[in-house]
Amino acid sequence: MIIRQATIADIAAIRDLVYELAVYENEPDALTASLAHYQEQFEAGLYDVIVAEVNDEIVGMALYYLRFSTWKGKMMHLEDFYVKEAYRRSGTGKKIFDAFLEESKSQSCTMVIWQVLDWNQIAINFYDKYDAVYDKGWWNCKLYF
């Protein structure tokens, strides 16, 4: 297994993993961003991805980008974190997440932030191993254009 930064050649596989995640989260129709949009925004530097690769196949990923908190300063936002089912419970997720944390530290981030669905106990158990803090007092807000 190789843990590495994604390249433009990986973006189609990454988008496929995002679709698998959407299916897992019971939201398969929610993914509306096209592959071309993914590629364009990756090339523009809007986001980065750490991937796990086995035998030339991308089997897991952490998609992230920088944010700024007026209270805490520079932080990294983990948008999507997913490992194919066949590679779960093998340490793949830990290797990806640890690489994400190291990348965040190397960029002098004061913290990392992400979301987890309240029903996803497997993910919550994973994050508990890192002593994650769950901020249940804030609600997610959206406006669609």
Is 62 a domain residue? yes
Task: Name the residue range of residue 44's domain.
Answer: 2-128
The active-site residue, picked from 19, 24, 87, 127, is: 127
Tokens of 33: 């961003």
Is 123 inside a domain boundary? yes
CATH number of residue 106's parent domain: 3.40.630.30
127: annotated active-site residue: yes
pLDDT 10s digits, 15-29: 999 999 999 999 999
pLDDT value of residue 93? 97
Task: Give first-to-last CA distance, the chain, whole Å.
Answer: 40
pLDDT in tens, 68-90: 999 999 999 999 999 999 999 99
Whether 53 is covered by a domain: the verdict is yes
- pTM across the whole model: 0.95
What whole-number distance in Å separates Cα of residue 24 and Cα of residue 75?
Answer: 27
d(CA 100, CA 77): 10
The answer as to whether 15 is a domain residue is yes
Query: How many domains does the chain divide into?
Result: 1
Mean pLDDT of 121-132: 96
